[in-house]
Amino acid sequence: MKKNRGKLILIIASVLFSFYFIYPTYKDYKFTKELHSLSGEDSLRYVEEHESEIRDARFKRIKLGLDLQGGMRVVLEVNVLKLLEDLSKSKDSLFMSIVEEVRTESRATETDLIDLLGSKFQAKGIRMSRYYGNIRDSDADILDRLRDESTNAIDRAMEIVRNRVDQYGVSEPSIQKQGGRRIIVELPGVSKEAEVRQLLQGTALLEFKLLIEPEIAGKVYESIDKVLAGKPLEDTTSADTSKAVAGKKDTTKQQDTSLVPLPEDQLKTEEQAKKEHPFFSIAIPNQQEGQAWTGELLTAEEDKPKVMRILDQREIKRLIPSDMSFVWSAKPAFIAEGKKYFMLYAVKKDPELTGGVIVNAIATIDPLTNTPIVNMEMNSDGARDWARITGANIQKRIAIIMDNACFSAPVVREKITGGNSQISGMDNVEEAKLLEIVLKAGALPAPVEIIQQTTVGPSLGEDSINKGLWSVIVAFAITIFFMIMYYRMGGTMADTALVLNLLFVLAVLAGFQGTLTLPGIAGIILSMAIAVDANVLIYERIREESGGGKTLSAAIDAGYTKAFSAIFDSNLTSFITGIILYQFGSGPIQGFALTLMIGIVASMFSAIVITRVIFEIMLERGKQISFG
């Protein structure tokens, strides 16, 4: 035991960690089964009582792929050629003839569109600077610039699609780039084709909205809290905020500070706090000590649906001014105790400006402050409106919203003329780059077309799950039966290792948020065969060593030592194959490669380490071991 103490601790720890990662999948199964047995109000009440647990289990469970869960798979293609056409300074007959040649030839070849365009200009002896860039630019520089624009167009399209899908409420979507122009979107559990087509092909909505004055927003929130708590309500919010704001000369100095959370000695218990302040217990005023409240509320991610349900109630809507709406921050404001907290902004319902006026946005570093900023440029109409808007709202905040998610809410410091403005406050360059992409995404630089669409029905997904599970069970049962019958006690130990191998594979999938697909199940079955193959090599070697006159202990030691090189080499080549499949494949191929690679590593551990430790412990205790 002392000899194998370290290995034994490692094995036990691995098993315990595996159960820890798989447990959420079991919990999710139990919750789903319970919900299916309930109906109507009982189901809603059950979800309300266990909402955080259900959400946590659903997030940490083993994800099911589109082929198992059902849903839609859509292949989008960004029209890069239309982008190149729009970027041209002039669209004369010669240029359009070149574009048409590129379009025709691209249908019959996989050549990069930009390289194809460059070769057409070169073949006709025309400099690309005639249509792109400046006269001093070389063709190589112009091609590099066009290639960057093309790449950015794909990234911006992916950002739009991702935001749209998140707003649509699809759980566990898969959005990935394929090649240079295509985007693959998998939406499990979705079947409404018309809605999905509109969702993916519609233009992203970028809006600039004024924030509601903190004093007015505070009165609305207090009224909501009082109504939910059953307290008497004074009618102070019946008028529109536009009328209320009109009578104020300096709202920045008269902000409401009555929304400070109650002192701890007044909140004896959490239940008492929820009862006295049902709204503010889940939507907390974001107020820093010593500073005036600026109008935002903070809500934990799991409480966002509750807040929206409250705001959508008929009696609550009567308290909200007609020109007031709400929007969440696009990213968490901070993370505390493992929870993500989002900002809730009260904004004007009608936008002051939309994203159609944005013609360019560039993320850079401010040389004066050495902080990331985003410079944005508008067209002439937008510049004129922006000057009027900013001039009339100095020291107020304007929310930059895309797809109903607020990315930034800067303070207007001065009237901005010329259509150029600057957004600051980003944490890093990556965040600034993301905001640049979001701002540009207001008007797509190139059309996005659906070139392929596949719908997998829930019945097919359920049928796939059943067949996949049965294939694993049958393969597992046959393998276990063969090993026990052929290798006796040694086969039993190999089967034990095989069970642990399957446990490890599923645990790794759950722990790293992997997705299980039908090809993935095939990869698991193949990894089980690889694990058994390793044990067969070891046991046959042990038989040979025993036949040569060695003791059982020496034969086991020699069997594991001499079979290791063959096992390692075969598994290494299989693992390299898995890497290649995962790197260059997509969709189902990647699912197969992922489970195969995890299974190979797990099989090495279970076949070489676990079984040997078990045999050595049995030998120390004088147990009899047979290998057929």
pLDDT per position as a tens digit, 249-295:
333 333 333 444 444 444 456 677 778 889 999 999 987 777 788 89
Q: How many CA atoms lie within 13 A of 54 on its CB side?
A: 16
Element of type H or E holding 399 = strand 398-402
Distances (CA, A) of 102 to 95, 127, 352, 449, 468: 11, 16, 42, 19, 46
Each residue of 555-608: pLDDT tens digit? Answer: 888 888 888 888 899 889 999 999 998 888 766 787 788 889 999 999 888 888
What's the mean per-residue pLDDT of the chain?
A: 81
Structure tokens at 598: 């995890």
Domain boundaries, the chain: 77-203+447-455, 209-348, 353-440, 457-620
Q: Which residues share a beta bridge with 454?
A: 73
353 vs 68, higher pLDDT: 353
Environment class of 380 (CB within 10 Å of its CB; exposed 0-12, middle 13-18, buried 19+): exposed
DSSP 311-360: HTSHHHHTTS-TTEEEEEESS-SEEETTEEEEEEEEEESS-SEEGGGEEE
Please check the confidence at residue 344 and state whether its pLDDT lies above 80: yes
pLDDT tens-digit series, residues 585-598: 766 787 788 889 99
374-394 average pLDDT score = 90
If DSSP codes are grouped into helix, strand and coil, which group holds residue 283? Answer: coil
- Which class is 353-440 in CATH? alpha beta
- Binned at pLDDT 50, 70 and 90, residue 62 comes out as confident
Query: 77-203+447-455 and 353-440 share one CATH topology?
Result: no
Query: Residue 19: pLDDT band by 50, 70, 90 thresholds?
Result: very high
**541 phi, psi to nearest 5 deg:** -70, -40
Q: Which helix (H) or strand (E) holds 607?
A: none
Whether 196 has a pLDDT exceeding 80, the answer reads no
Residues 121-137: what's their mean pLDDT? 90
Residues 536, 530: Cα–Cα separation, whole Å: 10
Who has greater pLDDT, 327 or 405?
327
Which DSSP letter does residue 263 get? P
pLDDT classification of 405: cutoffs 50, 70, 90: confident
3-state SS, residue 182: strand
Name the strand (E) or helix (H) holding 256.
none
Alpha-helical segments (H) within 80-138: 80-87, 93-106, 113-123
Architecture of domain 457-620: Up-down Bundle (1.20)
At residue 236, does pLDDT exceed 50? no
User: At 440, is the pLDDT very low, low, confident or very high (cuts 50, 70, 90)?
Assistant: low
**Residue that wins the pLDDT comparison between 628 and 508:** 508
Biggest CA–CA distance in the chain, Å, is 103
Which CATH number is 77-203+447-455 given?
3.30.70.3400
